[in-house]
C-alpha cells in the first residue's frame, strides 16, 4: 500500500511538471541539486516543492521570465498558506522556500530569467536597482550595508504594492506604521533601528527626486540608542572554558567550528571577517593574518599560536576537498561553497546550547566584548585595544572603560566604623 502511494505521488509530481513553463527545467534542476551533494530524500522534497510551484504557475498563466522574488513571495503568502491542491503536495514552508531559492539561482545561472534588480520589467526590481545605484554611486556604501537596506526596502515595497506598480505618491503614513508594527514585531531595538534607517534612507532619496515623503519619514520611530548606557556583556574565564570544551574535535565539523570560535575569541573578529578569511590571508612564516575589515580595509593582525594550531588542524584533518579559497567551507550541501556568516554564528550558538550557555551567548559579538574586557583588565592601553579591534574611533573603545559598580560591590571593603 505504501509503495503504491509513493508511486502515485511520484506520478503526480511528474504530471504537474507537464505542459508548464518549468517542464524543460525539471531534469536540469535534479542535476543541479545532485551536483551540489544533496541527499536523495532532500532532492525528492525539493523536486516536489518545485512541482507544486509549477502547477500553480500554470494555473496563473505565468511565463518563465516572470519568475522572481516577488512572484515566489506571492506563492508563499497567498497560495501556500491556504493551499487546496492535491493531498500529498509539498506544503512545508521552509522546504518550499529553500527549493524555490535554488530554482531561482539555477534559472538565473542558465540565463532563463532576469537577475534581481537587473530588469525594468518588474516595478519593484527596477525601484530596487535605482536605489541600489544611489547607495553605491552617491552614498558609497559597502555591499553588505546595501544588501541589508535593499532587503528591508524590498519587503516594504512587496507589502505595500505586491506585484503592482510602485507609486510612492500613493503611500500614506498608515502604510509605514502598519508595516513596522507587523514586520518588526518582537524585534530588539537594534534591529528595529536598522529597518528605520533603511526606510528613512529610501524616503530621503525619493524626496531628492521630487516626491513628497516628509509625512512618511515623520512616522518612522526614533529608536533610542544610548551608547554608554551599560557595560557590554562579557564571559568569564570559566564560561569560555566551557564553550571551547563543547566542540567534538574528533569530527571535521567540530574542528572547523572550534577553529572559527578561536578566531572570534582570540582575535575579536566579527563573524563576517571570519567568513571572508582566505587561505592566502594566513602567513605561516610571519605568524600574521590579513583581515578584510569594514570599508574594504585590510588589516594585519598577529596570529596567536593556539589560534594558528586550531586552523592548521582543520586544514589538515577536517577541511573537505574543494576549489574554494576561503579557509572555512561548508561541510553539508551545497558543497564546494564557503562558510557564510550564518555558519559562523551557528558554530557558536550550538556550542552554547551544548555547554548550557544559551542564555549568556545570543550571538558572536559577546566574544569580541570579552576579549576587549580581558585586555582592559590586563591594563592594556586603549589605543592598542582599538587597533586590535580595528575601531575607527577611540570613542568606540572607551565604552570598556566604564566602571562595573555591581562587580565592585562584591569586593569593596566596608566604610570604616560602619557595621556590616
Active site residues: 270, 294, 365, 368, 391, 400
Query: Are the C-beta atoms of 336 and 210 separated by less than 8 Å?
Result: no
How is the chain split among helix, strand and coil, in percent rounded to 5?
60, 5, 35
In 10 A of CB 231, how many CB atoms? 16
State how far the Cα of 197 lies from the Cα of 220, in Å rounded to an integer: 9
Query: Are the C-beta atoms of 204 and 213 separated by less than 8 Å?
Result: yes
Nearest to 257 by CA among 241, 270, 275, 239: 275
DSSP for residue 111: T
210: left (phi over 0), alpha (psi -120 to 50) or beta: left
State how far the Cα of 275 lies from the Cα of 340, in Å rounded to an integer: 5
Q: 3-state DSSP call for residue 105?
A: helix
State how far the Cα of 320 lies from the Cα of 146, in Å rounded to an integer: 32
Query: Are the C-beta atoms of 163 and 70 separated by less than 8 Å?
Result: yes
Neighbouring-strand partners of residue 290:
300
State how far the Cα of 238 lies from the Cα of 166, in Å rounded to an integer: 55
The grid coordinates of residue 347 equal: 558554530
Q: CA torsion 218→221→227→228, rounded to 10°?
A: 110
Q: Where are the beta strands (DSSP E) in 49-125?
A: none
Nearest to 338 by CA among 323, 351, 348: 323
Q: CA torsion 20→23→25→29, rounded to 10°?
A: 100
Query: Are the C-beta atoms of 217 and 204 separated by less than 8 Å?
Result: yes
State how far the Cα of 195 lies from the Cα of 150, in Å rounded to an integer: 10
Pairing of strands 282-283, 298-302: unpaired
Taking the alpha carbons at both ends of the chain, their separation in whole angstroms is 79
In 10 A of CB 16, how many CB atoms? 24
Amino acid at each position: 500500500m505504501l509503495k503504491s502511494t509513493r508511486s502515485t505521488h511520484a506520478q503526480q509530481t511528474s504530471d504537474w511538471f507537464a505542459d508548464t513553463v518549468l517542464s524543460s527545467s525539471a531534469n536540469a534542476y535534479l542535476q543541479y541539486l545532485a551536483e551540489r551533494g544533496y541527499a536523495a530524500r532532500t532532492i525528492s522534497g525539493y523536486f516536489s516543492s518545485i512541482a507544486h510551484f509549477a502547477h500553480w504557475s500554470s494555473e496563473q498563466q505565468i511565463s518563465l521570465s516572470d519568475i522572481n522574488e516577488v512572484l515566489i513571495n506571492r506563492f508563499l503568502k497567498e497560495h501556500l498558506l491556504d493551499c487546496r491542491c492535491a493531498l500529498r503536495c509539498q506544503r512545508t514552508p521552509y522546504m518550499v522556500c529553500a527549493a524555490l531559492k535554488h530554482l531561482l539561482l539555477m534559472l538565473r545561472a542558465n540565463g532563463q530569467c532576469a537577475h534581481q534588480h537587473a530588469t525594468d520589467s518588474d516595478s519593484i526590481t527596477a525601484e530596487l536597482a535605482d536605489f541600489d545605484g544611489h547607495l553605491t554611486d552617491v552614498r558609497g556604501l559597502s555591499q553588505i550595508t546595501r544588501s541589508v537596506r535593499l532587503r528591508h526596502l524590498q519587503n516594504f515595497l512587496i507589502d505595500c504594492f505586491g506585484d503592482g506598480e510602485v507609486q510612492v505618491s500613493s503611500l500614506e503614513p498608515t502604510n509605514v506604521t502598519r508595516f513596522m508594527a507587523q514586520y518588526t514585531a518582537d524585534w530588539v531595538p537594534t534591529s528595529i533601528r536598522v529597518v528605520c534607517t533603511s526606510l528613512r534612507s529610501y524616503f530621503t532619496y525619493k524626496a531628492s527626486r521630487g516626491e513628497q515623503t516628509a509625512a512618511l519619514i515623520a512616522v518612522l520611530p526614533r529608536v533610542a540608542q544610548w551608547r554608554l548606557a551599560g557595560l557590554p556583556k562579557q564571559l568569564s574565564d570559566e564560561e569560555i572554558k566551557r564553550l571551547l570544551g563543547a566542540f567534538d574535535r574528533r569530527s571535521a565539523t567540530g574542528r572547523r567550528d572550534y577553529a572559527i570560535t578561536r578566531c572570534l575569541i582570540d582575535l575579536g573578529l566579527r563573524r563576517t571577517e571570519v567568513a571572508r578569511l582566505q587561505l592566502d590571508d594566513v602567513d605561516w612564516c610571519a605568524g600574521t593574518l590579513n583581515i578584510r575589515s569594514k570599508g574594504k580595509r585590510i588589516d594585519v593582525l598577529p596570529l596567536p599560536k593556539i589560534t594558528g594550531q586550531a586552523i592548521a588542524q582543520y586544514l589538515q584533518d577536517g577541511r573537505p576537498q574543494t576549489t574554494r579559497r576561503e579557509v572555512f567551507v561548508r561541510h553539508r550541501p551545497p558543497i564546494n561553497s564557503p562558510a557564510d556568516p550564518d555558519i559562523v554564528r551557528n558554530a557558536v550558538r550550538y556550542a552554547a546550547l551544548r555547554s548550557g550557555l544559551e542564555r549568556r551567548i545570543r550571538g558572536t559579538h559577546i566574544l569580541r566584548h570579552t576579549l576587549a574586557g580581558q585586555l582592559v583588565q590586563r591594563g592594556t592601553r586603549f589605543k592598542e585595544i582599538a587597533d586590535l579591534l580595528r575601531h575607527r574611533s577611540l570613542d568606540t573603545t572607551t565604552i570598556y572603560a566604564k566602571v562595573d559598580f555591581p562587580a565592585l560591590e562584591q569586593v569593596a571593603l566596608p566604610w570604616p566604623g560602619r557595621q556590616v
